Structure 1
């Protein structure tokens, strides 16, 4: 991949995102707090956007701060999270809230290493919070992002979101002034165009750049 290829893909992706991205998701609201964004990331772990939409706004309205979580009974907010499944999510939210209060004066930390220290936060969640809540100059790779990067740039790591090759490429591509948009664009593109099965290659704006298109759909 040349730098020009990478830049062209990023420009194409961001242009597509401007016209087609899911800008109305509540956790993407510019006024969403870092804690609300962290809660959204917890909810989105192994869970669809549609499921999260069913509980997110009511939950953050009821528990807008780490203190409101700590002051509540875990059974109470655990019931509010119940529709999403993944029962360990309740412990993640509770223990992370305690850490934020005890170690960070009630504010979600804005450093990658500190975010990684929060209970239930892995590399993707930490990078995503940093990009979205603090405009951090980072990239984040999950299963969908790994699939897109592997297809477009001919990597053999489509099913390996934790592969260093995927992260290094994402970090190389991420535009320093629009990292949050870049992460959102990849997520939305993977959900509607470059899907796991039956990708819409014919309608893909990046088809002319994509090695998957060239090799799989000649």
Structure 2
């Protein structure tokens, strides 16, 4: 899961799939990633750009082995202490891998929630709002739903408000709602 999240940074899922499958097929364990030559990992993920991901993969794989016996940490502070792991990645791993009742807010989720609730993300903690909306037993599902909805309907440049199923409750000016 952590490998996928690092590869997904600033990259679409469609692009990542072409690099992820060969990478985890070739290096299926943390030990294999640590032992692999950097150039070989780099060659596999080069089409994605962001060459620093090779360093992330190698360093956090080594940290997982050294600090966590190769196991994925189950708490946010331990995840955040892994090289290259930030708030979004830690929360995403907790929601998807461990079913923890948290959400992960990227720019797409922030846009969706701030528009729908008519909130200024500079004045309201959208992460708290997302966590409050996340059902404890379905955190992964709601996170996927928000990401997919933001990508397909509530897009950055051309939101498709006319076809939006949640438009009647939306406070976005684009949807005809009012914000403070």
Match of 2:127 in 1: 167
Q: Do structure 1's residue 124 and structure 2's residue 88 form an aligned pair?
A: yes
Q: Which has the higher contact order (CA 8 A, sep 6+)?
A: 1
CA distance in 2, matches of 1:155, 1:164: 7
Match of 1:153 in 2: 117
CA distance in 2, matches of 1:54, 1:164: 37
CA distance in 1, matches of 2:124, 2:118: 15
CA distance in 2, matches of 1:164, 1:93: 33
> Residue 136 of structure 2: which of 176, 189, 193 is its match?
176
CA distance in 2, matches of 1:62, 1:192: 33
CA distance in 1, matches of 2:94, 2:27: 21
Match of 2:171 in 1: 211
Deviation at 1:65, TM superposition (A): 1.1
Match of 2:162 in 1: 202
Match of 1:86 in 2: 50
Q: After superposition, what is the alpha-carbon deviation per residue over 1:197-218, rounded to whole angstroms, capped at 9, x for unaligned?
A: 11111111110110011237xx
| Number of matched pairs | 176
When the two chains are superposed, the root-mean-square deviation of aligned CA atoms in Å is 1.3
* Structure 1: 4+ residue segments shifted above 3 A: none
Would the alpha carbon gap of residues 82 and 164 (structure 1) be closer, same or farther in structure 2, given more than 3 Å must change? Answer: farther
TM (normalized to structure 2)? 0.94
CA distance in 1, matches of 2:84, 2:104: 16
Match of 2:28 in 1: 64
Listed as ranges, the gaps of 5+ residues in structure 2 are none
